[in-house]
Structure 1
Amino acid sequence: MKSKLYIGVMSGTSMDSRDAAMIKIENNSWSMINSVKREFNPNLRKKLLIISRDRKSVSLKDFIEINTKTGGEFSKCINQLIAQKGMKPSDIKAIGLHGQTLYHHTESRYSGSLQIGNPSVVAEKTNIAVVSDFRNSDIAAGGQGAPLAPAFHSWMFGSNKHKRILINIGGIANISILLNSKSFFWV
């Protein structure tokens, strides 16, 4: 199998920065090629915090502007990551964009998660295909909206001989319980 390069980009609940990592996937293994961490524009961060923590109402016009600006911030981070390695967008297979979570609700029949950072803006400004909206896909399938950590944990640490528990300590902690190399669940 030919190796492929991918970029993953996200930001945590603190909204202090955007983190991007470039990885190479070859056969059944991966390696880190480069990573960057860039602070959010202070004015944009302030607006994001007001919307997500204070739950202040925002006009649809302002929401669209913030969504577009956030996508632009993610794009800058990605383009810097690529430039640091002297690469071009065509070297990258795809970008996995988590976005910035503004609100997450999984306690009712009408559950969902709201991320901001327009993936179409990111695709346009980087000229790379973008995969996004992971949380809502998982919620629609009956999950809690955190599909990536347990799948990654299973791939990296799954074992047919040992059961394992991994704790992801972030803004919102979660636990992956690995029963064997093929099954896992998230708490």
Structure 2
Amino acid sequence: MSDRYIGLMAGTSLDGVDAVLAEIRGDRDIRTLAWNYHPFEAELRATLQRHCFGDAIPLPLLGELDAWLGETFARAALSLLREANVPPGRIRAIGSHGQTLHHGPDARHPYTLQIGDPNRIAALTGMTTVADFRRRDIAVGGQGAPLVPAFHRAVFSHSGEDRAVLNLGGIANLTLLPGDGRPVTGFDTGPGNTLLDAWFRRHHPQGHWDEAGRWAAQGSCNPALLRRLLADPYFQRRPPKSTGPERFSLDWLAGHLRHCPDLPPEDVQATLIDLTAVSATAALRRTLPGASQLLVCGGGVHNPVLMAALARHSPCPVTTTAACGIDPDQVEALAFAWLAWRTLAGKPGNLPAVTGACEEVILGAVYPV
């Protein structure tokens, strides 16, 4: 049986799909063979930006988006295999995260919803597909997120050394890896790139994100606004906890900007940089004060202004996961390839100490071919 897996990850930044081809022979025996990034076509991106994380979406559009994304994920997987010159028959399975439409772990009836029809992925690629990873954790009392700390434990933990991993996606999540055998923990710290991107698009409608943080670099952090933003109760809430753009939205930001009405927009952007950096590093200081290094991954590593802010505020040296042999752009997609491997091996994929679930469970649904 093949030991090659594909991982597909589309995050809350709503920009495209990261696809990784990996050889997985055990929990720590993982080798990346190929990687590519498949950007969303303009119409799909615009539709997602209008409707993801909002309060309403027309039912016909929901169905169409589910199918549209499934086809997009399938194309990303097939494109990756063409570039790697690997036939689909050599792949054991695809692990597809899907695209989060809404995340409500604290609702009266907790839920999370990822779309990107895995039936389409399996049918169009001819490869067994594992998907819908988060809802089983919620079914046993968990937050359904973050799920990547189990993978971080497998590939980044080190006996005798406390380490932390910060994923800077649309939302930032932190994994704490004690070196003395204590349980691994992790949680969403708050906004990563989601507010930065949304505020940038508000003032640059033709753009998608603040390339290399250049616009933020033109502004200055406003301490009064930063204090107001950091006063949100989420930042002081004890884990387990997870969040999303449903909470940290432009509407949330607008409520605080009413008290600072004349700020230049680039100063707001600079303040949002510090919001991400300070909320993440303060959480690290509270929860793993002896960390020897902070390993960063996700799209935020390409924003030097954000990385400099992290280095300024962090209680320990900041580097990227490349220092441990995994490209920071590949970590999350690789995690979902690994989770697919665990699902098919009959192994649990969640960490109750992270998500708050009452037990370890096998994650995901399998769509065979």
- Per-residue CA deviations over 1:81-114 (Å, capped at 9, x if unaligned) read 1111222111001111001111111113411111
- Kept in 2, the 8 Å contact 1:71–1:121? The answer is yes
TM-score of the pair, normalised by structure 2: 0.47
- State the alpha-carbon separation in 1 of the partners of residues 182 and 89 from structure 2: 34
Give the aligned partner of residue 70 of structure 1.
Answer: 69
- Kept in 2, the 8 Å contact 1:34–1:81? The answer is yes
Q: Which has the higher helix share?
A: 2
Shift of 1:3: 6.5
Q: Are 1:7 and 2:6 an aligned pair?
A: yes
Give the aligned partner of residue 48 of structure 1.
Answer: 48
- State the alpha-carbon separation in 2 of the partners of residues 95 and 148 from structure 1: 17
Q: Which amino acid aligns with 2:29?
A: S
Shift of 1:142: 2.6
Give the structure with higher Rg (CA).
2
- Per-residue CA deviations over 1:133-164 (Å, capped at 9, x if unaligned) read 11212222332222531001111122332332
* Partner SS state of residue 107, structure 2: coil
Q: Which amino acid aligns with 2:167?
A: N
Give the aligned partner of residue 126 of structure 2.
Answer: 127
TM-score of the pair, normalised by structure 1: 0.90
Shift of 1:165: 2.3
Q: Which runs of 5+ in 1 are unaligned?
A: none
Query: Percent identical across equivalent pairs?
Result: 36
- Per-residue CA deviations over 1:45-69 (Å, capped at 9, x if unaligned) read 21112111444431x2221111101
Q: Which has the higher strand share?
A: 1
Tell me the matched-pair count.
Answer: 185
* Partner SS state of residue 159, structure 2: coil
* Partner SS state of residue 173, structure 1: strand
Q: Which runs of 5+ in 2 are unaligned?
A: 188-369
- Kept in 1, the 8 Å contact 2:13–2:170? The answer is yes
Counterparts of 1:135-154 in structure 2, within 5 Å, are 135-154=134-153
Q: Which amino acid aligns with 2:15?
A: D
* Partner SS state of residue 160, structure 1: coil
Where relative contact order (Cα < 8 A, 6+ residues apart) is larger, the structure is: 2
Distance 1:108 1:57, change over 3 A: closer
- Kept in 2, the 8 Å contact 1:103–1:114? The answer is yes
* Partner SS state of residue 70, structure 2: helix
Q: Are 1:23 and 2:43 an aligned pair?
A: no
Shift of 1:169: 1.5
Counterparts of 1:32-47 in structure 2, within 5 Å, are 32-47=32-47
* Partner SS state of residue 148, structure 1: coil
- Kept in 2, the 8 Å contact 1:3–1:25? The answer is no
Counterparts of 1:77-92 in structure 2, within 5 Å, are 77-92=76-91
- State the alpha-carbon separation in 1 of the partners of residues 108 and 158 from structure 2: 35
* Partner SS state of residue 82, structure 1: helix
Tell me how large the CA RMSD over aligned residues is: 1.9
